[in-house]
Amino acid sequence: MKLNKNINIAIIGLGYVGLPLAILFSKKYKVIGFDIDSSRIDELKQNNDKTNEISSIELKYAIANNLDLTFEINNIANCNIYIITVPTPITVSKKPDLSFLEIASEQVGKILKKKDIVIYESTVYPGCTEEFCVPILENYSSLKINKDFFIGYSPERINPGDKINTIDKIVKVTSGSNRESSVFIDELYSSVITAGTHLASSIKIAEASKAIENAQRDLNISFVNELAIIFNLMKIDTNEVLDAASTKWNFLKFKPGLVGGHCISVDPYYLMYKSLELGYKPKVLLSGREVNEKMGKFIAGDIIDYLKLRNVFSKDIQILILGITYKENSRDLRNTRVPDIYHSLNKQFSNIDVYDPHADYDECFNNLNIKIVKDLNQYDLIILAVSHNEFKEINFSKLKKNDKSIIYDIKSFLDKNIVDKRL
């Protein structure tokens, strides 16, 4: 296998991961972006990316050159490299939901040809690609792995909303189903990833590397979240404690807060699933998840207690929540935990506004049952839930209804001098 001018790449799934990847590869190769959502294709053809990951200028240039877009599976039948980037969420019972992965594998299997390569980027548990995906490909193609076609796994590492650490500037872990395909896949990604690649010795190693990346971050945040709960009981400022501790060179300074999104709050469950399947009940992973899952309700409770302490507690007070997305400077609402705070407070208070300059109004209302306001008033309680850059420019004194108004900063984002309480 050698890289040549005849490489034709199909990217399956054009969301937060697939679209930036398609744009990147199109700078050097012929690429067809495929998505089953026809409205998504129409939107992109109009040079508009609702995720805000790709600018209209970038889209227009790519489409004018090496990038085609389609929702018809037959339009990618002549490609020889298929990269699958579909979502892998969890079910209500916290188990892996592989339905999107299954559908994508079936679709590719139906058009798979000899010598084709299928690369998976979706986050999965170790062993999933070979144990779950390969049999589907073989069944629908009537071809055999490593004889007729090859597979690889290269976990996505995109950080949505991050305009500095872009896809090409993050080291790419690669792997293949045999030595030949591994080298080819590594060279393929190396040709567009300026940060370089890391060739893992097996697909399972590559899968596991992704699973533990976010599990580690989840655990680190759960540790400081538990500290925040403890220090709250002690009536001391968690962030001041962290500032003091971080003066030592080897202290890892994570901050307390809500843990949501498409990866950190999901990936540990994939690792847990496989661990339980093998007969081991993970203790640390489970405890970390338990702490982080409860933080929204804890924060709501802490807010209520503080309102009572300050004699501001009343059903009719005006409340503002700043930010609803799962992270700063992103419109991504996937698994955001801010609604945990909103719905908990909504049981006690009747006037709660949510303001977010990044979030989509319809998506927020339809998916979260929360309305976003466009205009701000004056409030008795202001909760900084997401550290969007735009919130640094707000004149908070004008948002406060009176001298008794409270600012509660979940993210320790604002100037401490204007904040009444921090997590």
Domain boundary among 136, 166, 201: 201
Say if residue 50 is in the same domain as residue 186. yes
> For residue 3, what pLDDT is reported?
66
- 93-102, 115-124, 153-162, 365-374: least confidently modelled range: 153-162
Write out pLDDT tens, residues 172-231.
Answer: 999 999 999 999 999 999 999 999 999 999 999 999 999 999 899 999 999 999 999 999
Distance, CA of 226 to CA of 209 (rounded, Å):
26
**Count of domains observed in the chain:** 2
> For residue 387, what pLDDT is reported?
95
> For residue 236, what pLDDT is reported?
95
* Domain enclosing residue 148, as ranges: 8-201
Average pLDDT over residues 368-385: 96
Active site residues: 263
CB-based contact 154:124 (threshold 8 Å): no
Say if residue 257 is in the same domain as residue 139. no
We report the CATH number of the domain holding residue 412 as 3.40.50.720
Q: In this model, does residue 1 exceed pLDDT 70?
A: no
In-domain check, residue 236: yes
Write out pLDDT tens, residues 143-159.
Answer: 999 999 999 999 998 88
Write out pLDDT tens, residues 186-200.
Answer: 999 999 999 999 999
Token look-up 């655990």 returns 219
249-270: buried (b, 16+ CB within 10 Å) or exposed (e) per residue?
eeeeebbbbbbbbbbbbbbbbb
Average predicted confidence (pLDDT) for the chain: 94
CA distances from 399 to 315, 345, 352 (A): 19, 20, 14
pTM reported for the whole predicted model: 0.92
In-domain check, residue 119: yes
> For residue 326, what pLDDT is reported?
93
In-domain check, residue 3: no
Q: Six-digit token pair at 191?
A: 């040709």
In-domain check, residue 209: no
Indicate the pLDDT class of residue 292, thresholds 50, 70 and 90.
very high
Nearest to 264 by CA among 335, 357, 161: 335
Say if residue 237 is in the same domain as residue 358. yes
At residue 78, the 3 state secondary structure works out as coil
Distance, CA of 335 to CA of 323 (rounded, Å):
14
Q: Six-digit token pair at 93?
A: 């019972």
Compute the C-alpha angle 12/364/21, nearest 5°.
25
Write out pLDDT tens, residues 36-76.
Answer: 999 999 999 999 999 889 999 999 999 999 999 999 999 99
Q: In this model, does residue 369 exceed pLDDT 90?
A: yes
Q: Which residues, 6+ apart, have CB-to-CB distance to 309 below 8 Å?
A: none
In-domain check, residue 328: yes
Distance, CA of 149 to CA of 389 (rounded, Å):
47
Q: In this model, does residue 34 exceed pLDDT 80?
A: yes
In-domain check, residue 210: no
Q: Six-digit token pair at 178?
A: 């045999």
CB-based contact 98:129 (threshold 8 Å): no
Nearest to 172 by CA among 17, 316, 345: 17
Distance, CA of 92 to CA of 96 (rounded, Å):
10
Instruction: For residue 199, list its beta bridge partners.
Output: 174
Say if residue 242 is in the same domain as residue 386. yes
Indicate the pLDDT class of residue 260, thresholds 50, 70 and 90.
confident
Q: In this model, does residue 2 exceed pLDDT 80?
A: no
